[in-house]
A = this chain, B = another copy of it.
Amino acid sequence: MPVDWSDIDHVTKVDPAEDLPADLSILDRTDLVIVGGSDGVTEENTLDAVERIREQCPGLPLFQEPNSASHVSRETVEAVDNLAVPAVYNGDRDNFVEKHVDFFTEVARKPEEALGSGLPLVGDLIAERGREAVAEVAEKVIGEGYVVQNLESKAAAESGVERRYDTDQVAGAALATEALYGFEVFYVEYSGTYGGPRDVEAAAQYLDETVLLYGGGIERQEQTREILDAGADAVVVGDCFHDDPERFVRTIPE
């Protein structure tokens, strides 16, 4: 089911390898949850986080953002509303295109061949239900065109980002997303630091059909408001959900 982005101002990114807060009712006022991470993430802890969040907030849209094909299985695809797949504009070739073609090659491969592949979970997914499963994966995929702006972040290291984009390049990548790459989402990622509204403003002027997300360092409602006023469709809040639930609640707009 397509997500109605007009209802979404505040997104929570949940790392399934970290502890969830004891009281998940703090999610009641966020508008969307994205489950994903890198170190220690598995299909199992992804499913566990998804199930716990579903139980607390049954109506909340919930995405998986897999960092690796091994985090994806029949169960995770069925458990979430969408698979959000990041392609990093200012990263290396692998993180913009190669690993995605590899992933879809595994998904598209014939069942009998996929069983022997290095991606058993995808293979299992396909083997069991064939073409129908391929269509289900494809329909659930939402592309995210990322610009990763904190060079010191883990996200930068993992996606091969060696240089920031200036605001003109952010605007260019946004326009390229709108006009050439059909990603549903354009994502300005400051990962752990607050980047302010400039990149968001630069991107927003060229985005019409594309959803604009900002993530990084949001710790209070004034920052959320500043980013939304700059033209983002929503802010993404991650770290403080795990680290400081009270602070997390203060990032949610009224």
Contacts and interface: CB of A to CB of B under 8 A. Distances in A.
A181 B143 contact: yes
B180 A85 contact: yes
A221 interface: no
A138 B93 contact: no
A101 B169 contact: yes
Given A97-B89, A168-B109, A138 B104 contact: no
A137 B178 CA distance: 11
A98 to B, nearest CB: 9
A102 interface: yes
Contacts of A96: 93, 96-97
Contact of A104 (B141, B176, B183): B176
A134 B180 contact: no
A173 B107 CA distance: 11
A174 B143 CA distance: 15
Interface in A104-163: 104-109, 113, 134, 137-139, 141, 143
Contact of A107 (B139, B141, B175): B175
A201 interface: no
Given A113-B168, A168-B113, A178 B105 contact: no
Contacts of A138: 175, 178-179, 206
15 contacts: A93-B93, A93-B97, A96-B96, A102-B172, A104-B175, A105-B172, A105-B175, A107-B175, A108-B171, A108-B175, A109-B172, A138-B175, A143-B182, A182-B182, A182-B183
Interface of A: 85, 87, 89, 92-93, 96-97, 100-109, 113, 134, 137-139, 141, 143, 168-169, 171-176, 178-183, 206
Given A103-B176, A143-B180, 12 more contacts: A87-B180, A105-B172, A105-B173, A108-B172, A109-B172, A138-B178, A138-B179, A138-B206, A143-B182, A181-B181, A181-B182, A182-B182
